[in-house]
Amino acid sequence: MSDSPRLETATFAAGCFWGVEESFRTLPGVVRTEVGYAGGTLANPSYKDVCNGRTGHAEVVQLDFDPTVISYDVLLAHFFEMHDPTQVDRQGPDYGDQYRTAVFYHSEEQRQAAAERIAMLNASGRFPRPIATKLESAEQYWSAEEYHQKYLLKRGLGSCHI
């Protein structure tokens, strides 16, 4: 019998994936991060494909986490704090649907938790505009090219321009 924790997977889109990955990578309980593409129509897209804005993919961070250390709700709270969830198809200077705000859920429980968080944030009056974050099924994920993985860490940077 294994004593290793049962890991869960979460996938988030919040603009350029470099800074999003770095923000999640450093959280206790997050054991793996990887940047990639989700939500589109083209199989195995490249960065160039996604940047043309015609594939429907979002730049995402997929992570594995230990739910005995960090809960999905804490990850959601972190996600909604790290970016402006009211912007449609943009974050900072980056624009296009590949930079949309989205939660790619892996289970009905994740979908429901994200929907409840969005409803709570909308009701709170904290933001001047409604939450634009989309809820999308995590049906297909494609890993980004190696040079995008842990991009900021490799360069000794703690964050991007956002």
Domain containing residue 123: CATH number? 3.30.1060.10
With respect to residue 159, please indicate whether it lies within any of the assigned structural domains. no
pLDDT of residue 64: 98
The range of the structural domain enclosing residue 104 comes to 8-152
Which residues are known catalytic residues? 16
pLDDT of residue 4: 61
With respect to residue 2, please indicate whether it lies within any of the assigned structural domains. no
Domains in the chain: how many in total? 1
Rounding to the nearest 10 degrees, give the CA dihedral for residues 25, 152, 58, 100.
90
**Order of strands, sheet of 101-105, starting from the edge strand that comes earlier in the sequence:** 134-137, 101-105, 8-14, 58-65, 30-38, 141-143
Cα four-point dihedral sign 90, 48, 111, 31:
negative
8 Å CB contact between 88 and 128: no
With respect to residue 38, please indicate whether it lies within any of the assigned structural domains. yes
With respect to residue 142, please indicate whether it lies within any of the assigned structural domains. yes
pLDDT of residue 147: 84
Rounded distance between C-alpha atoms, residue 142 and residue 66, angstroms? 22
This prediction has a pTM of 0.92
With respect to residue 1, please indicate whether it lies within any of the assigned structural domains. no
Low-confidence ranges of the chain (pLDDT < 50): 1-2, 162
With respect to residue 119, please indicate whether it lies within any of the assigned structural domains. yes
pLDDT of residue 162: 46
With respect to residue 96, please indicate whether it lies within any of the assigned structural domains. yes
With respect to residue 86, please indicate whether it lies within any of the assigned structural domains. yes
